[in-house]
Structure 1
Amino acid sequence: MNHEENVFYKMIYEVSDYAIIMMDANGTIMNWNVGAQRIKGYLSEEVIGSSFKRFYTEKDKIEQKPDQLLATATQEGSARDEGWRVKKDGSLFWANVLITAIHGADGRITGFSKVTRDLTERKNAELAVIEHAKELEKKNKELEQFAYIASHDLQEPLRTITCLNEMLRDTLYEKIDPQTTQMMDYILEATQRMRQLIHGLLDYSRIGKESDLVEVNCAQLIQQIKMDLKILIEDTGTYIEFESLPTIWGYELELRQMFTNLITNGIKFRKPGQSPVVKISASEKNGKWTFSVNDNGIGIPQAFHDKIFVIFQRLHSRETYEGTGIGLAHCHKIAQLHKGDIWVDSEEGKGSTFHFSVDTHKLKSA
């Protein structure tokens, strides 16, 4: 071995971040560097002359994974792999491996180089994220199931209260005084409000449950929503403007609900004596569409920009503005369903612009 080769092998030997070994054509270990000792736990004299298969799990050995990697490197020049490997103490680490075929002067394979990185921390982090996502999905399903069952169970006593209230009113029609009549009206209003909340909760739990991804022509969708809201638009003198809206990949019913909620909010929270103006636009970047719904209404104080998307959050009393406080929570869930987000730009007294995104690339790959 000449001086240059000595220097080269010494450099390899001193590398500590990577396990770098040389093997003969059969996979027998011929040398062992500092990185291999650090990562796998063996001293050089414990492994030189043995097969590299010793680092593989029993499952991989049964499935002949080491032989397959050498065969791939022989045929294609190199082979890459990631998987669990076994240390001297029996513990596992996640290895990123590159095996490269070494050819002699006559072109025949004389051996292989094998470079291994320990990516256990990265793998454990990935597994933790996956486990956390599974746990969240499980809890979300449990919550949705609870909301669905609870909502159904709550409807029956409400119907009973409403029915009894009406029976009392009919039975005691000529005997009850104005104060009692007013209390009965309060009971009826309370049960109706409770029913609205239950329906809102049911709708929230159903979002995305029975929908299919389809191509949605957003311009046509807005035209349909305008027809649905025709009476409200005419009664309030609302002007709705939109231009260059795309056809996107999404859940049509949920997108209809999203646009309807944002448009009706722009109409509901209008300034006194001023006709509502709602403008809808869209822009695209790297497969993600961002829609903006702008209104000239009363606006939202900065302190409430995040709170408005929480279920049952209200900024105004029911006497001032009707509603259940669940519409924007629906919008938030619909945006998440479309692998996007929703946020608002607004100042009190200066109108609001709601933005929501739809990531078509993620939707197609989901």
Structure 2
Amino acid sequence: MDQPSGQDAARAAVREGTLPPSRRGGRPGIVRALSLRLFAASAVAFVGLYAYWSYGVYQTMTEEAAYRAETLLEERRTYIRALVETAVNGADHQRRTVNARARQVLRERGQRAQAIARHIWETRPEDATRRQVLEQIRETLRPIRFDGGRGYYYAFIMDTGETILHADSPDLEGTDLRVVRDLEGRPIVPSLIDYLREHGEGFYNYVWEHPNRPGKNHAKIAYGVLFEPLNLGIAVGDYLEDMTATVKAETLAQLEAMRFGDDGYIFAGTWDGISLIEPARGRDMWAVTDPNGVKVVQELVGAARAGGGFVRYVRPNLQEGYPRSERLSYVLPVPEWEWYVGAGVSIDDINATIADVRREIRSDALRSLVLGSLLVALLAAASSWIALRSARRVGRDFARLEAALAEDGRNPDRLQADALRHAESHRLAIAIHGMVERRDAAERALEQQSRKLERSNAELERFAYVASHDLREPLRIVSSYVGLLRRRYHGQLDADADTFIDFVTEGAQRMHDMIGDLLEYSRIKRSATPFEAVDLNEVCAQAVQNLTASIRETDARVQIASALPTVRGRRPMLISLFQNLLENAIKYRNPDRTPDIRVRGGIRDGEAVVDVADNGLGIDPAFHARIFQIFQRLHAAHRYPGTGVGLSICQNICESHGGRIWLDSEQGRGTTFHVALPLTDGTEASPDGADSARETAPAR
């Protein structure tokens, strides 16, 4: 007699519960794994407790230092934040008053010119002509300059637009300025004339060239007054950027004058890194880096552009008298000017305090580490001994459970729950017994249900077949007699009778078609035709030949790939499948174009997939799932005749072959049906979509 193999002996030992855990399947047994995990868990727990204890010691020691450091830092944060907010609020106030200040100054200058003109008019000689008075006013206003020479007066006659004074461009005097426009295309003087006629005086904004800056698109604001006795308009203006530059200079002077502490000062710069205040006024500080690699100005600009914030860095030695020190700075933006404004304080003394406390903490932590390590070693040894002892006991229980499960619970006497040592093993044994009982009951119930379902399906199939087959004979009698009535009495009775006879004839014919389709539908699963290797090229050729009359009648063009796969199936059913798809493509054609039907196929993911595409009406996506249901129709019967069974037959044929059918469609563009069928053994895959096609168009 042959000796049992080593593997068979091991299986027998498992069933008997005698195989040591460490030898089962070449893997560590549960006893050893459990002991190692318990030891590891104990060690981790002890190390965690020690770490928690050490952390508590460390935390206690650092809390005071952290509190002292945070208190000092918060005091200085609050101090410099208040300084910077004050400075920025002042700068923002100055910025907001630029326009108002400019308007006030221009109004005073305009009213001053009006007063000069009035004085000359009131003190004129009695024999003075209007032209002489105008010339005296012009020459009196001509030499008057403002703001370092950039501000001046100009005057014009209201009725003609003639310029009698333009101190900056005398060549314009005597010309009609009504034709002059700014860069935005607005007429300057006509608009100002209209405004002065209505209001007498007021402001006007426009764009003009700057005498000291390149370009002609500089925003300017003017104030004009009307001197009514001579119908004379007098105006004075200034550039907004010049007004802003003046205010900026005043603001920077105020910021530079702010000092605090021993070496504290306000600093400011532009968002592109140019310093605006000493000690680095006018220098590009964008690339300045402290010893720690911090891009100081870039960090300050980033914090300002984000709305403000604190930045820590080592102050660079910009000039003599500014030694390097670690700084804490706070910055805020002036976004309209693209400035950052900030202030900083030294925190070297805070760092020294923190360093002393940390040295003390490291010393105490080292002592705690030595004591804790000894304690962890003792506890680890004790936990290892306990884990190994407990794991052996658990292993014996699990050996019994494993032996019972190796037999799928078919021998319940091998697993006695009361013989197990631990409560968990006892409950598991009871659960295994219950599971086995439920499994056996479920298997019996499933077997009974399967037999009932098979009988029910067979009866339904027989009923559908018999019903559809037996109904055809009485329907044939009804159709015959209705036809007899139509031939003998059509046109001899009234119009209603003819209509009723037509309705009955049409209904009988429709019922005949539905019963025929239902009979065909029920025959699919009852077919006894054996499965064989079927060449889909021959199937599609036969389907096209069967539809020759419809193709000729509709002038349809059918293109079929020349290398369709070979599948395993029933040839007559597959011909019916593709004939139904081609017939649908012809029936639901677009009336505005010739039917164009393309059949392509190949091997995809180990199965044959054939696509039947047309350029017909298309199908609404909402009906994609419904069209495969039996007797489902999407169009009225008088427009597109049929019973609504064709696609149900297609789906039934696919499923009876172990395949599937689905579609893609776009309304008005056409529909593509995809048919997936199992391959026959030995079918070779050809590149999908690379096969050539032949065109089938029967001769007319």
Normalization by structure 1: what TM-score? 0.66
Q: Secondary structure at the match of 1:207?
A: helix
How far off its partner does 1:248 sit? Answer: 2.0
Q: Does 1:284 align with 2:603?
A: yes
How far off its partner does 1:34 sit? Answer: 3.0
Residue of 87, 105, 129 corresponding to 2:412: 87
How far off its partner does 1:40 sit? Answer: 6.6
- Corresponding residue number in structure 2 for 1:206: 523
- Corresponding residue number in structure 2 for 1:180: 497
Task: Indicate how the Cα distance of structure 1 residues 173 and 304 shifts in structure 2: closer, same or farther if over 3 A, else same.
Answer: closer
Residue of 397, 412, 421 corresponding to 1:34: 397
Q: Does 1:166 align with 2:483?
A: yes
Q: Superposed, which structure 2 residues align to 1:168-247 within 5 Å? A: 168-169=485-486, 172=489, 175-208=492-525, 209-243=527-561, 244-247=563-566
Counterpart Cα distance in 1 of 2:21 and 2:490: 107
Deviations 1:188-236 (A, max 9, x none): 1100100100000000011141222122111122222222211211111
Q: Does 1:359 align with 2:377?
A: no
Q: Superposed, which structure 2 residues align to 1:323-334 within 5 Å? A: 323-334=642-653
Residue of 452, 455, 459 corresponding to 1:142: 459
Counterpart Cα distance in 2 of 1:6 and 1:12: 10
Q: Secondary structure at the match of 2:512?
A: helix
- Corresponding residue number in structure 2 for 1:22: none
Counterpart Cα distance in 2 of 1:132 and 1:288: 33
Residue of 319, 330, 335 corresponding to 2:654: 335
Deviations 1:228-279 (A, max 9, x none): 2112111111111122212222111111011101111111111013111111
How far off its partner does 1:341 sit? Answer: 0.9
Deviations 1:102-157 (A, max 9, x none): xxxxxxxxxxxxxxx99979999999888776655443322211111111232233
Residue of 619, 624, 628 corresponding to 1:300: 619
Contact 2:557 2:595 in 1 (8 A): yes
How far off its partner does 1:39 sit? Answer: 6.0
Counterpart Cα distance in 1 of 2:439 and 2:601: 38
Counterpart Cα distance in 1 of 2:20 and 2:414: 32
When the two chains are superposed, the root-mean-square deviation of aligned CA atoms in Å is: 3.8
How far off its partner does 1:171 sit? Answer: 5.2
Residue type of the alignment partner of 1:233: I
Contact 2:630 2:648 in 1 (8 A): yes
Task: Indicate how the Cα distance of structure 1 residues 283 and 13 shifts in structure 2: closer, same or farther if over 3 A, else same.
Answer: same
Residue type of the alignment partner of 1:234: R
The percentage of counterpart residues that share the same residue type is 35
- Corresponding residue number in structure 2 for 1:157: 474
Counterpart Cα distance in 2 of 1:277 and 1:126: 55
* Count of residue correspondences: 282
Q: Secondary structure at the match of 1:35?
A: helix
**Structure 1 or 2: larger helix share?**
2
Counterpart Cα distance in 1 of 2:513 and 2:498: 23
Counterpart Cα distance in 2 of 1:137 and 1:40: 38
Q: Superposed, which structure 2 residues align to 1:55-70 within 5 Å? A: none
- Corresponding residue number in structure 1 for 2:29: 11
Counterpart Cα distance in 1 of 2:574 and 2:20: 68
Counterpart Cα distance in 1 of 2:540 and 2:440: 45
Deviations 1:160-181 (A, max 9, x none): 3223323434554574223212
Counterpart Cα distance in 2 of 1:131 and 1:288: 35
Deviates more, 1:253-262 or 1:129-138: 129-138
Deviates more, 1:294-303 or 1:158-167: 158-167
Q: Does 1:254 align with 2:568?
A: no
Q: Which blocks of at least 5 consecutive residues in structure 1 are unaligned?
A: 17-31, 42-54, 56-80, 92-116
Q: Does 1:272 align with 2:574?
A: no
Deviations 1:60-97 (A, max 9, x none): xxxxxxxxxxxxxxxxxxxxx98662223999xxxxxx
How far off its partner does 1:320 sit? Answer: 1.5
Task: Indicate how the Cα distance of structure 1 residues 297 and 175 shifts in structure 2: closer, same or farther if over 3 A, else same.
Answer: closer
Structure 1 or 2, whichever has the larger Rg, is: 2
Q: Which blocks of at least 5 consecutive residues in structure 2 are unaligned?
A: 1-18, 35-394, 417-431, 684-700
Counterpart Cα distance in 2 of 1:82 and 1:241: 61
Task: Indicate how the Cα distance of structure 1 residues 130 and 258 shifts in structure 2: closer, same or farther if over 3 A, else same.
Answer: farther
Counterpart Cα distance in 2 of 1:34 and 1:301: 65
Task: Indicate how the Cα distance of structure 1 residues 7 and 287 shifts in structure 2: closer, same or farther if over 3 A, else same.
Answer: closer
Residue type of the alignment partner of 2:599: I
- Corresponding residue number in structure 2 for 1:314: 633
Counterpart Cα distance in 2 of 1:279 and 1:207: 27
How far off its partner does 1:337 sit? Answer: 1.1
**Structure 1 or 2: larger strand share?**
1
How far off its partner does 1:6 sit? Answer: 8.8
Q: Superposed, which structure 2 residues align to 1:37-52 within 5 Å? A: 37-38=400-401
Contact 1:14 1:33 in 2 (8 A): no
Contact 1:300 1:352 in 2 (8 A): yes
Contact 2:566 2:679 in 1 (8 A): no
How far off its partner does 1:187 sit? Answer: 0.5
Residue type of the alignment partner of 1:88: D
Task: Indicate how the Cα distance of structure 1 residues 290 and 125 shifts in structure 2: closer, same or farther if over 3 A, else same.
Answer: farther
Counterpart Cα distance in 2 of 1:358 and 1:287: 10
Q: Secondary structure at the match of 2:413?
A: coil
- Corresponding residue number in structure 2 for 1:69: none
Counterpart Cα distance in 1 of 2:627 and 2:445: 31
Task: Indicate how the Cα distance of structure 1 residues 131 and 351 shifts in structure 2: closer, same or farther if over 3 A, else same.
Answer: farther
Q: Superposed, which structure 2 residues align to 1:90-105 within 5 Å? A: none
Counterpart Cα distance in 2 of 1:351 and 1:267: 11
